[in-house]
Structure 1
Amino acid sequence: MKRLCTIALCMSILSTGMAQLKAKVKCPDFYVDVLNGTVNDIKPSYTPNEIKEKFPCFTGEEEEGGTAKCGGGIYFKDKDIFFYTKRDYVEVGSKFLGKTSIPLLGTKRGSLFRTLGNPKIKDDTRDAFEMQYGTLVLHYDAAGKVKFFQFSTFGTDQLNLCE
């Protein structure tokens, strides 16, 4: 019986001795500057490697190329923010875990005139605003409140969003 207990004790010590602790990759808190078109000073036109270097905690990525659905991107599904690297735009979802320079999510349509001016393009479900860096697109729900937004370094005439 002693021998069996000794063997069991040795095996448990040996198995825990082989285990290694790995530190979880820590990302900085996301801060979206709507008026400058950046996320923590990263612009939508940055390369995938530059984005991954700044935010190593991405939950998914898609290589740029012909087979990529939206041209490639770096995704943070747990924080509801997506960088579409080939198309040079960022999408911020309704469950975004971070801060914005202007609170857009949940804002009523038409209430941002003072800050953003008149939209350059307007339709039933979205408004596109011309910004100094490119374009800001606000998408509205049935109640007329912002449900998510996208911003790009391209102007409205060059913008190519993934549907």
Structure 2
Amino acid sequence: MKNVLLLITGIICMQALSAQLKTTPVCRAFTVDVLEGTVNAEFSPKSSSEAIKTAFPCSTSEVADGSVNCNGVFYKDKDISFYTGSNYIEIGEKFKGTLSLPLMGAARNSLFKWLGNPQIKDASWDAFQTKYGILILYYNKAGRVNKLQISTKTTDTIKLCQ
């Protein structure tokens, strides 16, 4: 009986020893430089998934490299996505971070002073030529920016994920 009691006590102690506290990964703030096409001055649309995950370990989901064209690292709670397979970064209207230019929510007719004329215009978006590739701005029904896409591709070669 003494051995059984000792065995049970040992098992309980071993379970207590193996229990560990787990920390929640904390991300530093996202700062997007729209004119340079970078995030935190070190990540571009060409950055690898591994480099992004190392710097920002709090991703909400990921699609592994090589699995599909729309692979990348996604931060849904911060409304920023890195599409590493297609070389573009997407920033939504609920973006929790800083933009170098106050584009989110800006009126369509107020963008010339920062970006010049768009290379391609559509009813709901404009594509601007940049030194790194293109910047695509999407507009809501009120004509205000509600999404940005930063890409190293050209308007002829970009493949966007839906």
TM-score tier, shorter chain, comes to 0.7 to 0.9
Matches within 5 A, 1:77-96: 77-96=76-95
Instruction: Give, as a single letter, the amino acid of the residue that structure 1 aligns with 2:48.
Output: T
How far did residue 17 of structure 1 move?
6.8
- Show the counterpart of 2:59: 58
- Structure 1: distance between partners of 2:17 and 2:93: 44
Alignment TM-score, normalising by the size of structure 2: 0.86
Q: TM-score, normalised by structure 1?
A: 0.85
What code does the residue aligned with 1:76 have?
Y
Question: How many aligned positions are there?
Answer: 150
Partner Cα separation in structure 2 for residue 160 and residue 18 of structure 1 = 47
Asked if residue 44 in structure 1 is aligned to residue 45 in structure 2, the reply is yes
Distance in 2, matches of 1:113 and 1:71, equals: 31
In angstroms, what is the RMSD of aligned CA positions?
A: 1.8
1:71 Cα deviation from its structure 2 partner:
2.5
- CA deviation profile, 1:99-124 (whole Å, cap 9, x unmatched): 01001111000201011000000000
In structure 2, distance between residues paired with 1:119 and 1:47 = 29
SS of corresponding position for 1:110: helix
- How far apart, in 1, do the equivalents of 2:97 and 2:76 lie? 13
2: CA distance, partners of 1:115 / 1:30 = 21
- Which structure 2 residue ranges, 5 or more long, are not aligned? 1-8
Equivalence for 2:147: 148
Q: After the TM superposition, which of the residue ranges 81-90 and 44-53 deviates more from structure 2?
A: 44-53
Percent of aligned pairs sharing the same letter: 48
Corresponding residue for residue 111 of structure 1: 110
SS in 2 for 1:53: helix
